[in-house]
Chains A and B, each alone.
Chain A
Amino acid sequence: MKKIKTLILCILIFSLFSTAACKKDNNKAEIFIYNEQDTFISKMANSLRDSFPDNFTLSFHDGKLSQNTQNEQIVTALDNGCKILVVNMVDRLASASIIEKAKSENASVIFFNREPIKKHLLTAKNTYYVGTSPVQEGQKQAMIAQKLLGDPDSMNRFIDKNGDNTLQCVFIQGEKDHQDTEHRTYSCINYLTAIGYRLEILAMDFASWNRAQGKALMERYYKEFGSTIEFVFSNNDDMALGAIDYLLESNVMASGTSAPFPIVGVDGTKYGLQAVKDGYLYGTIVNDDAAQSEAIVNLCRYLCGEIKFYEIGFPFTSERYIYIDGPVVTQENIGQYI
């Protein structure tokens, strides 16, 4: 009888220890996104969910466009002992507070999609940024235009409809003060002007990455400039799709035909690629969420001590930045992507 009791006790203790040991293997990462409604961000969140290995416990928090809400979520997570924060900030300028708070709790922060202020990021160890290179994306948008326009001094008349060898264009910008907004826009402009194109920017305004706002902005542009618009640069696909929504709804463009002027986006979302295939959107630059997710996951695994630094497998810029390039997708090569 006594033997059986000791045996049972032993088994119990053993199982207790083994479960505790199992638990210890579970790494935890909390992911904060600025807005679930954003197509690219939700795609990115899904991709993150798929990329993390099973021994990671994930939880996702939606900031719902409020930095204050996100602050609360981050503070709560840190209070609960979270050691790895994966943050897509609502307001880039909040990075200083987030980094300082995380530092005080000995937690690591990996920012993605929205780049923190560099001088803040460098104040703490174990703080990283993973994102696209908005400068390159802007340049790639410019390259799509360059390919279509040809010689700056005798532009393709299909595009330069009034034949003045100046490109009358509009910009649909993302969010005010988003580093991607500024970089995508100005690197595009700078690239084109540098190689000799004359641009006449009819209008540039913000639509906060949002499809409905993109549609509203296009309506405003079209009503003001009508067919003088020769090119539309959009900071992302969603807003470009919003512009297409307007053109289709107002019958400027018939369903199944291509747009009266080329529209280019960035991100290469599912709908964006579909629009390229349908001929509405001329081209886009893939914002490679899978690669970004992989970089984030590898950083997390490195921070947990699972892999060595050199195993992260992505090149660092300024020690803490991982910029990921995406391929250009236009109607010519859409077949490879869809």
Chain B
Amino acid sequence: MKRKNIPIRAVLLSTSLLLYLIFVIALSVFACVFFARSTSEKSNELINATAKQITYNYENYLNSILNTASVIQSELNEEKTSEELSSSFDSLMELKSELLAVELYDTEKNLLCKDTRSAEVYPTASDQWFTSASEDQTIHFFEPMINDDANVYNIIFSKALTNGKFHKKVILKMVIDFKEIIELNYKTDLGENGHITVIDDQYNIVYSSTEDAAQDLRFLKNVILGQDHVHTRGHAFTLNLDTIGNSAWRIAIFYNTDDVKQAIESFLIVVIIFSTGMLAAGVCAALFITRKITVPIKKLETTMAKIEREMTPVTIKDGVAIKEVTNLSLAYNKMICQIRDLMDQVVTEQKNQRKSELKALQHQINPHFLYNTLDSIVYMINDDRKQDAQKMIIALAKLFRISISRGNNIIPVQDEIEHVRNYLLIQSMRYKNSFSYEITAAPECLHCKIMKLILQPIVENCIYHGLKNKIDPGFIRITADIEKDNLVFKIADNGYGMKEETIKLLYERFNNPDLSDGVGLKNVYQRLSLYYGERAFLHIESEIDCGTEITLSVPVEVNGNEKN
């Protein structure tokens, strides 16, 4: 199972944004649901209270009619004459302005007495008031009247009563003006198109505050009793259908609830705007925070990548990064310091080692030459060639003085050339002038500094491998010059020369660390690379039977400070 490497910023951004998104959405949904619920609850409470109030008004009104009937019953108990009854009806009507007529009938529907205010018996469309009241004497009846004038709402009340001490059954009929209660409820605000409809138990409309009440009947028949939400006349209504006490009537109250819907909708819009804003702010915050984490980490990362080359500590400004990242970079810097210390230690150790190696390499030069030279001197003295012996001893002494150079590794080019000159002198004497030599040095290079004993081993090679036992007179030419900030030495001979393969083999051996494989060229090369590193350059050019030219190139060093 290999997991893809996801950048920390992406992880942080995506998780925090996802969580934030969920949070904001959940919050918005919750707020909306809560608001919608509480708003509709509130409006429902209001609607219920309004509906109750209206219903209560109607009940009160009908109750007062019933009370009137009770008053009439108690009048009847007192066994009054019809004249007395008529006058008491008149006074009742005076008290209660809604009473339009009061009439009393016997069980045969003969008029017993009536109020004197109206001359005629109040006309009614049917006898239902009479038949109902005589059928069930325990209850009273309300009956809407069919009115020609749309603004007149009259109702008939009828009830069986008992008359006199012997409780003869009589039927009371009262005609009542319904307008008062209607006007009372006009004041109630039911919203646009909100209206009231009163129906009887047969769904006949007793009264409605709207003209097209007939289209509501289907809602009423569907609801029967209780509350429902209906949509009609282009508006949303809450329909409350309840009974009116003391009657078999029901009252339907249509309350316009568009406002509630609108309130909920506008709240929804506000919430959407708000949550979008919140989301945008969240995105910004997440970007900012992740930047605070990732930018210093990126910096740390790039600095760490450069560790091999530069090893510089990270610098992070205060306040740019968060605490943990700052701590991390501090820890990293500490580590860098330690690594540096360790590296310094390693470098010192290596320097010491190189020093000892250099010493060892330098020491390799001396013995053979010294023995041979001394042998030659002894031979010269034996041969009584004092002059030559003296000359040789002087040259040898110079040679060694420069070799030692008070322990300095770096000497002026002048000295190095002097050294090789003395060497050549000694060797030419030893080999009885079998070769000649020429040394040319550009004056500007004489004062430059160079590692000592680098020319001598090469010259030695020329003599032993190039010129020794050669029939033709040998020739060695040494030149020293400055080319583009480099000190260039060229050592050329006209000896046997070398094959390509031999040169190749030589180059290969240069990089063999085994020191015991002591060839002069390798010795020089290794010393140069130890001291100058990659800037040192040794080139071999050779042609069979024509000669060899060795080119040495090192950077110019004028001050020649002793490195070690």
Count how many chain B residues have C-beta atoms less than 8 Å from C-beta atoms of the other chain.
26
Alpha-carbon gap, A68 to B243, bound state (A):
7
0/1 string, A89-124, CB within 8 A of B gives 1: 011111011101100100000000000011010000
Q: Does A130 make an interface contact (CB < 8 A)?
A: no
Contact present for A97 and B139 (CB under 8 Å) = no
How far is B424's CA from A154's CA once the two chains are assembled, in angstroms? 187
| Nearest CB of chain B from residue A225's CB, rounded to whole Å | 14
Among the stretches A30-38, A198-206, A257-265, A311-319, the one at the interface with B is A198-206
Chain A stretch 181-204: residues in CB contact (< 8 A) with chain B = 181-183, 186, 189-190, 193, 199-201, 204
* Nearest opposing residue in chain B for A190, CB measure: B167
A186 surroundings in chain B (CB, below 8 A): 137, 162, 167
Partner of B248 from A74, A93, A178 at Cβ < 8 Å: A93
Which listed residue (A96, A182, A200) contacts B137, Cβ 8 A? A182
Interface residue B486 (Cβ < 8 Å from any Cβ of A): no
Chain B residues in 8 Å Cβ range of A181: 138
B549 at the interface (CB under 8 A from A): no
Cα–Cα, bound, A201→B167 (Å): 10
- Cα distance, A71 to B250, chains bound together (Å): 11
Give the Cβ gap from B159 to chain A, nearest Cβ, in Å.
9
Task: Tell whether, in the assembled complex, residue A201 and residue B165 are in contact, meaning their CB atoms are under 8 Å apart.
Answer: yes
Q: If A101-B225, A199-B165, A200-B165 touch, does A117 touch B243 (CB 8 Å cutoff)? A: no
User: Which residues of B have CB within 8 Å of A199?
Assistant: 165
**Of residues 34 to 50 in A, which have CB atoms within 8 Å of B's CB atoms?**
none
Whether A67 lies near B245 (C-beta < 8 A) is yes
B55 adjacent to chain A (CB < 8 Å): yes
Contact across chains for B225 and A118 when beta carbons are under 8 A apart: no
CA distance A156 to B189 in the complex (A): 66
Q: Interface digits, B187-205 against A, CB 8 Å rule (1 contact, 0 not)?
A: 0000000000000010000
- How many angstroms from the CA of A90 to the CA of B77 in the assembled complex? 28
Q: Which residue of B lies closest to A93 (CB)?
A: B248
Residues of A10-67 contacting chain B, CB below 8 A: 67
Query: Taking CB as reference atom, which chain B residue is nearest A91?
Result: B245
Query: Is A75 on the interface with B (CB-CB < 8 A)?
Result: yes
Report which of A71, A177, A178, A189 forms a contact with B140, defined as CB distance below 8 A: A177
B77 touching A201 by the CB < 8 A rule? yes
- A177 adjacent to B166 (CB under 8 Å): no
Given contacts A91-B243, A97-B225, A117-B248, contact A177 B77 (CB under 8 A): no
Residue of A nearest to B142 (CB): A93
Contact B242 A71 (CB under 8 A): yes
A71 to B227, CA, bound (A): 11
For the complex, is B226 an interface residue (Cβ under 8 Å from A)?
yes
Bound complex: CA A72 to CA B52 (Å)? 12
B77: contacting residue among A92, A93, A204, CB under 8 A: A204
**At the interface, is chain A mostly helix, strand, loop or mixed?**
helix
Q: Which residues from 421 to 437 on chain B have a C-beta closer than 8 Å to any C-beta of chain A?
A: none
Q: How far is the CB of A116 from chain B (nearest CB, A)?
A: 11
- CA distance in complex: A46, B137 (Å): 32
B224-249 Cβ-contact flags toward A at 8 Å (1 or 0): 11110000000000000011011110
Q: Check A117 against B139 for contact (C-beta < 8 Å).
A: yes
- Chain B residues whose C-beta falls within 8 Å of the C-beta of A179 in the assembled complex: 138-139
- 1/0 contact string of B164-183 vs chain A (CB within 8 Å): 01110000000000000000
In the assembled complex, A270 has its CB within 8 A of some CB on chain B:
no
Supposing A91-B246, A186-B167 touch, asked if A96 and B201 sit within 8 A by C-beta, the answer is: yes
Chain B residues with Cβ below 8 Å from A96 are: 201, 248
Q: List 8 A-B contacts (CB under 8 A).
A: A71-B226, A75-B225, A75-B226, A90-B245, A96-B248, A177-B246, A183-B138, A186-B162
Given A68-B52, A182-B138, output 19 extra A-B contacts at Cβ < 8 Å: A71-B225, A72-B226, A93-B139, A94-B243, A94-B245, A96-B248, A97-B250, A101-B224, A117-B136, A118-B136, A176-B70, A177-B66, A177-B138, A177-B140, A179-B138, A186-B137, A193-B166, A193-B167, A204-B77
